[in-house]
Structure 1
Amino acid sequence: MPPFDPLRRRLPGGLRAEHALALTVLALVGIAEGQRLGPGGRTTPALVASWLLAMAVCGALLLRQRHPVAVGWCTVVGTGTYYLLSTVDGPLVLVPIAALYGLASSGRLQAAVTMAAVMVIGVGAGALAGTGDVNGTAVFMLTGWLIAVVALGAMWHGRMAYAEEEAALRATQERLRIARELHDVVGHNMSMINIQASAALHRLEKDPAQAESALAAIKAGSREGLRELRRTLGVLRQVDEGAPTAPTAGLARLEELIASSALAEMTVTVKKSGAHDLLPATVDLAAYRIVQESLTNAAKHSGARHVVIRLHRDDAQLRLSIEDDGHGAPPGPAGHGASGIAGMTERARALGGALTAAPRPQGGFAVHAELPLSDNKTATERSTR
């Protein structure tokens, strides 16, 4: 995702519009000042000074990207001086107004308000001095325009800041989702491979047949892990890569998890109750990952030999229960299942549900989850309501 820069959106048309504005104003000022030429087209010192000021003010606008505050003051002071020297009510005031909008839209609200106040005070002082060029109505109209321009710029800045914050939040949520997927996929398959490799080394000399079976299980597990990993990383694939063809993880693939657990000498029993309708995709994936991580922890950390999975679906939610007969040791503070349990909890909460994981009083470890079937909004969507 490219970095967000609200300074790029100072004017609706960007830099080209600023250049066009400066050139147009300068041309109009030149036409207006042409009316002040003396007989025979002779110029006066005041006319030359007015032209130079107009050129300086319009040229300064082109440097606003690098020095926005300095350019803003230059346009305000230069425009004020121009109107003191010139007898033509030209359109040069559009340049400081554009500079004020740029300051407000880039978050420099204090500088924009200060410059607008200086402009109003200067024009008001001219009206009180009785110059004849401005009156109370002109001061009132200028004040309204400046307030509207600064408010519009501040509103645009707020909108861009909100969009930037929302984009960063969505990016963070996406990174966490990918991290959970990678942990679940790699963690489960690598744990099964580790268990089978240990068994193969132990039986290599005593029982080569069983060692060969364990090595075959390692091959199958590694192939499955690579397939799942490729599907998960598909969200980061390039445009010219083909879409992943592996089936989406869900409870329909529960038998595959049970088969891999059987290779780790762990018996898994599944008990289903309630309705048998299709689950929403988000709930189906979360349930599969919770069962997968629970079986991984049971085989790797709890030392279980028997696991019971209970699934109950009603009209409101899906209830999951995974209980094993291992030693039920709580996860260590620096790993040993802690990150997996945290990931399962995040999955449940992202769907508006809840998950608990703790040792059982009678021994073993238990994971209980409740996943609502409706209002399955992501954490990002709920946080931006």
Structure 2
Amino acid sequence: MLEAATRYIRAWARLQQPRIPGGFSWPFVLTIDVTMVMIGVIATLQRPMSDWPAAVLANAIAIIPWAMFFVFKDHRCEGPALWAAWTAASAILLFGTSTPIHGDFAPFLLGLVAGVVGAITSTRGGALAATSAAALLVYAAITHRIDTPAIYLSFVGIAWLIGYLVRGQQLLLVKQREAQAQLATLAAADERRRIAREVHDVIAHSLSITLLHLTGARHALQHDGDDVEAVNALQQAERLGRQAMDDIRHTVGLLAADADPMAPEPGVSDISTLAEDFARAGLDLTLEIGGKLEYVSAAAGLALYRIAQESLSNIAKHAPASPATVTLTVSRTAATLTVINALPDHDIPPNTTQGRGVRGMRQRIELLGGTVDIGAGPVSWSVQATVPSYAADMDLPARMRAS
């Protein structure tokens, strides 16, 4: 399911990528083309019927880039094609007709050239398009083909400036889309790592206690012949196995967008229940808790619970016969969890210093701004995690009232 969600996010990101020069949308393309057609139609209607063949030819040339884009799906040369076609169409309308037209609409096509080419190509391309349009207008003014050339030149300059600004905005949007796609990929990877860590912690905890119960049942059957004790141990193993399945379903349910409301995550107050489960499974465990647990936030409590869970699971896996001590001390500034167990034959448990569980411990604590120390001493293995508490924040309103 996670892979499917990742593929969906990547496909969505690809759909958001620009498909035309400058990253413009279909409404932009359609608006420009409709404007071009309107200018061509009005300019044609302004001319006498004897000039309509030339005007129709000019409109047909102006439509060529439109056909390239919509019919042939080719927009690699969209900017140069627009410049060449629309400039040629403007030249035919201005110089290929019999008489000058008062208030001619044809020069507005040159302004459209400057604005659109400036928006979908580079700054240099937009400047060249605006320069060529201005040169054509100046020549038309010299040959008395247009009146009020200053208005047309002003329109070309304004259109180029708008195109330049629009291009800048579109480039920012393209970069934003790329950044969003990267963030979506990173978010999917982070979620994958988080869920993998949760699944690892749940499975390691439940299976470790289950194995302790099964080991106790085997010893009872082999050495004591006590069927009642063996049956009790097997019942506990069965209960924990069912609980493990429920926990796995709960964790995997994080992947479903329409999942039912889930049970609260374990917190610091659940560490005592966790220790009791391991003790009932046969682990020689001592628990010591001191301080006010309400000083520990929900996020910090979950992190400490998972660290205790992982540490006790490692003990059950590597040194089930060694005595262990879990100490939780909560002060006004920090909460410290310490798990210590004796090393059998003074050997460091294999694959415990760089395993997934140890990496998960470090990630959890570092995200909360705490510290974690994991390693072997002369005769014991210890895990010590410290996270900040928020007692000072709780007392802030009281201090403000006192002041």
Q: TM-score, normalised by structure 2?
A: 0.77
- What CA distance in whole angstroms lies between the structure 2 residues aligned with 1:247 and 1:154? 45
Answer with 259-268 or 152-161: which moved more.
Answer: 259-268
**2:26 paired with 1:15:** yes
| Residues 48 and 130 of structure 1, relative CA distance in 2, 3 Å threshold | closer
Deviation at 1:182, TM superposition (A): 0.5
What does residue 53 of structure 1 align with? Answer: 61
Q: Does 1:226 align with 2:242?
A: no
Residue aligning to 1:170:
187
Evaluate the alpha carbon distance shift between residue 138 and residue 30 of structure 1 in structure 2; reply closer, same or farther with a 3 A threshold.
closer
Kept in 1: contact 2:269–2:293 (CA 8 A): no
Q: Which residue in the other structure is 2:208 paired with?
A: 191
Give the secondary-structure state (helix, strand or coil) at the position aligned to 1:266.
coil
SS of match in other structure, 1:309 = strand
1:286 aligns with one of 303, 318, 326: 303
* Alpha-carbon distance in 1 for matches of 2:219, 2:327: 34
SS of equivalent to 1:146: helix
Secondary structure in structure 2 of the residue aligned to 1:68: coil
Q: Of the two, which has the highest radius of gyration? A: 2
Using the TM superposition, name which of 111-120 and 190-199 deviates more.
Answer: 111-120
Matched residues, number: 358
Pick the aligned partner of 1:42 from 44, 50, 69. Answer: 50
Report what 2:260 is aligned to.
242
The match for 2:231 is: 212
User: Post-superposition shift, 1:298?
Assistant: 1.2
Post-superposition CA distance 1:65-86 (Å, at most 9, x none)? x433233332222122222222
Segment of structure 1 superposing worse, 156-165 or 301-310: 301-310
Task: Write out aligned runs for 1:270-285 (5 A).
Answer: 270-285=287-302
* Counterpart contact for 1:23–1:58, Cα < 8 Å: no
1:90 to 108, 114, 124: 108
- Aligned counterparts of 1:312 and 1:20: Cα–Cα separation in 2: 68
2:269 maps to which residue? 252
Root mean square deviation, CA, Å? 3.2
Q: C-alpha separation between the residues in 1 aligned to 2:290 and 2:24?
A: 61
Deviation at 1:12, TM superposition (A): 10
What is the percentage of aligned positions where both structures have the same residue?
23
Aligned to 2:283: 266
TM-score (norm 1): 0.80
Shift of 1:260: 2.1
Pick one of 126, 151, 170 that aligns with 1:116: 126
Q: Which structure 2 residues correspond to residues 24-43 of structure 1 after superposition, within 5 A?
A: 24-36=35-47, 38=48, 41-43=49-51
In the TM superposition, residue 95 of structure 1 has moved relative to its aligned partner by 7.0
Aligned to 2:63, the other structure's residue is in SS state helix
Q: CA deviation at 1:220?
A: 1.8
Partner of 2:400: none
1:94 to 1:318, Cα distance in 2 relative to 1, 3 A: farther
Amino acid at match of 1:367: V
Alpha-carbon distance, 1:296 to partner: 0.5
Are 1:79 and 2:86 matched, yes or no? yes
Matching residue's letter, 2:229: Q
More displaced, 202-211 or 346-355?
A: 202-211
Contact kept in structure 1, 2:58 and 2:93, CA below 8 Å: yes
Cross-structure match for 2:76 = 69
Cα distance in 2, alignment partners of residues 252 and 274 from structure 1: 12
- In structure 2, give the amino acid aligned to 1:229: I
In 2, Cα distance between equivalents of 1:247 and 1:149: 49
**1:371 maps to what in 2?**
387
- Rounded to whole Å, the distance in 1 between the matches of 2:322 and 2:249 is 30
Tell me if the contact between 1:254 and 1:288 (Cα under 8 Å) persists in the aligned partners: yes
The answer (yes or no) to whether the contact 2:340–2:382 under 8 Å persists in 1 is yes
More deviation in 20-29 or 186-195?
Answer: 20-29
More off after superposition, 166-175 vs 87-96: 87-96
Residues 191-228 of structure 1, C-alpha deviations (whole Å, 9 max, x = no match): 22233334434443442333223211211211221222
In structure 2, relative to structure 1, the CA distance for the partners of 1:29 and 1:341 (3 Å cut) is same
Where does structure 2 lack aligned partners over 5 or more consecutive residues?
Answer: 95-105, 391-403
Q: Name which of structure 1's ranges 293-302 and 308-317 shifts more when overlaid on structure 2.
A: 308-317
Counterpart Cα distance in 1 of 2:74 and 2:369? 48
Quick check: 1:357–1:366 contact (8 Å CA) kept in 2?
yes
1:357-368 map, 5 Å = 357-361=374-378, 363-368=379-384
Q: After alignment, is 213-222 or 271-280 more displaced?
A: 271-280
